Structure 1
Amino acid sequence: MKKTLSIFLLAAGLSISCVKQAAAQTTAADTTGEHRMIQDISADLCRQIEEESKKAPLTNLSQEEATQLFARLMLVSAGNNATFTKLILTHKSDANAYGGQLGKRIAFRMVKECPASVPLFMKVGYQELRKQHPMSEQEVKVLTPVAAGVCQGIEARQKKQDLAAMSAQERMQVVEEVMQAAMKPHAKALSQLYGADLFLDQKKMEQVGVKIAVLMGDQCPAILTFFATAGQSAQPAK
């Protein structure tokens, strides 16, 4: 569930220009060099994004402007990393897919550790995310009330306690509780749609989590931004 929540909070951040062609298959385990490289690129990219956010609110950017900005910053951070360049050169035959896999892991890390990046991810990737995770009419029918339940649950918790005053870990715990509560009334329908093993299958849960996030983007987009910008004056709202 926790990994699913990370994807849920990532919502619009999986489809930046450098990761559009990521391979669909499971990524192989990181090597030590890759892990350090991802740390370094993520940290540098976060620093750049924080500097940009001081100039003007990133939420004011259009999707095209956000895409151009992120692509430029990513090119700088990745281009200045010798390990990234070396690894791309050693994967000449599948450079696009390999680069996409690395980009996804960088994005996941940034959403967890760089809150300033999430509003930009949301601007850049939401529409592309919808394209990458299409839903049947039946999926929309089953998942829409779950997404609504998450939106309503988080808003209800906000009325009881200021979520912005919580630590990131505490807010994550709130989302976990709300997500579980929202899915429980629909457990039978979810299991019928995705299989009886849904709640035991991490991969399936990840896929469902992304689709719930996509639907939340329609119903309460401010919720996702709120969790990234908590501590500012914004409150979650529909």
Structure 2
Amino acid sequence: MAEANRYRSLQVWGGRIVLGAVILGLWELTSGTLFNSFWISKPSLIIERIFEMVERGTLWFHVSATLQVAVVGLVIGMIAGTLIGIGLAYSGIFERWVYPYIMALYSLPRVSLAPLFIVWFGIGMTSKVLMVVAMVIFVAFYNAFEGIRNIDRDLLDMMKTYKASRLQKLSWVIFPSITVWVLTSLRLNIGMALIGAVIAELVGASRGLGYYITYSSGMLDTTGIFTGLFLIMMIAVIMEQVVVQLERRLLKYR
């Protein structure tokens, strides 16, 4: 069994590496031949730019700023959204009063909130974290809310039959049942958190990958733009793999 899982894992990672190599190879070959390299740059130029940023000490300077904002906002948004979702699911008729207003807030284009947050809180970290929270909180809320509503009622009835306490219900039924929903929202929200951080940096910042993309755009530096985008994707991939490992540990009971 262990060998089969190991072989399957090697197949998956091997396929991913081959597919990535093919895509990058085609990009490298077509840039400068079928397409003007000024518009789409090249993987080789992007790698060269990353090494230049490492030598100048600007790589971690920008990456750390975006990563810090994204992680802090992700944690706050996940906790707040999950707790609100659980609380509202058990609030009875109050849920019917509040739900339409939550839908109204969800329909707002959160991108337009970035300038407003800067007016209220300045261009510091607070406004950027709030932008990330605004992007993350609704996904966390809806997953927790639906997770509670989809709990097997027979299990809850059985717990009542055995006169289980509220803490026992939470520990043995509710939390295990919504774990999958919460982890799913966490995986979805990784991309949302990075989008929120970059949007906030595009509007007003002096460091970060969003700022680097804006600066490169102003200098007509397409390699710099693609470098910023590539680094954002790499951060998302790494964070997603961290969540995958967490998911495997937490869902062993399945």
Greater helix percent: which structure? 2
**TM-score between both structures, scaled by the size of structure 2:** 0.28
Q: Name the structure, 1 or 2, with higher relative contact order (CA <8 Å, separation 6+).
A: 1
Larger Rg, first or second structure (1 or 2): 2
**TM-score between both structures, scaled by the size of structure 1:** 0.29
